[in-house]
Chains A and B, each alone.
Chain A
Amino acid sequence: DSGVTQTPKHLITATGQRVTLRCSPRSGDLSVYWYQQSLDQGLQFLIQYYNGEERAKGNILERFSAQQFPDLHSELNLSSLELGDSALYFCASSVGPQNIQYFGAGTRLSVL
């Protein structure tokens, strides 16, 4: 168990809908990262937050947004969902100069 908690484990929804994925980082970790893993793209970095502020952005779609709350948990919001958004979404957290990222078990999103 990495100590990073993601909910829900599975989400099934329809095109055009909006969903929210939640991540609780390891105790004491200030950085949270979101990654998308699809069959044809591998693990792709979406966005990083550090202590409530956005730190780095990857190829995150405009339909996607994220935030990190004062208690350090983070949410990834996906809207106007398309079939191609079906993927595994992982959250990771880290702390300290080495910044080793520890991953949660992921949320599997299926858009039908």
Chain B
Amino acid sequence: EDQVTQSPEALRLQEGESSSLNCSYTVSGLRGLFWYRQDPGKGPEFLFTLYSAGEEKEKERLKATLTKKESFLHITAPKPEDSATYLCAVRLGETSGSRLTFGEGTQLTVNP
């Protein structure tokens, strides 16, 4: 069965304390891995998409990487405004349309 697992479930950091969030997946026919940020009561906000192992994408303090079995979201010198839930999602083979299968998310809190 296709599965997406994110860890840790929750992470508390001090401002400036760098860390990484993990997304591991067990799927067949991966057609893309997506990272989203979700603030409480709001819709997910697109951050990155990765398509092949070895690919990396960066945006401000965030960097996403992809291997054959997992993806990491590295947060460098985080600020309180980076506090949010970070969601990982995968897009599967043709027969699945373009649906996304989401992990449960990592709730990140950055304290000043």
Q: Which residues of A pack against B, CB within 8 Å?
A: 2, 4, 31, 33, 42-45, 48, 50, 55-56, 58, 90, 92, 94, 98-106, 108
Size of interface on B: residues with Cβ below 8 Å to A: 23
- Structural contact, A103 and B98, CB atoms closer than 8 A: no
Is B80 an interface position by the 8 A CB rule? no
A42 touches B49 (CB 8 A): no
State which residues 43-65 of B face A: CB under 8 Å. Answer: 43-46, 49
Known A-B contacts A42-B103, A42-B104, A99-B91; the reply to A55 vs B98 at CB < 8 A is yes
Structural contact, B45 and A56, CB atoms closer than 8 A: no
Interface residues of B in 7-30 (CB under 8 A from A): none
Q: Are B46 and A100 in contact (CB under 8 A)?
A: yes
- Chain B residues contacting A31 (CB-CB under 8 Å) are 98
Picked from B43, B49, B99, the residue with its CB within 8 Å of the CB of A103 is B43
- Assess the A56–B49 pair: CB atoms within 8 A: no
Give the nearest-CB partner of B102 in chain A: A43
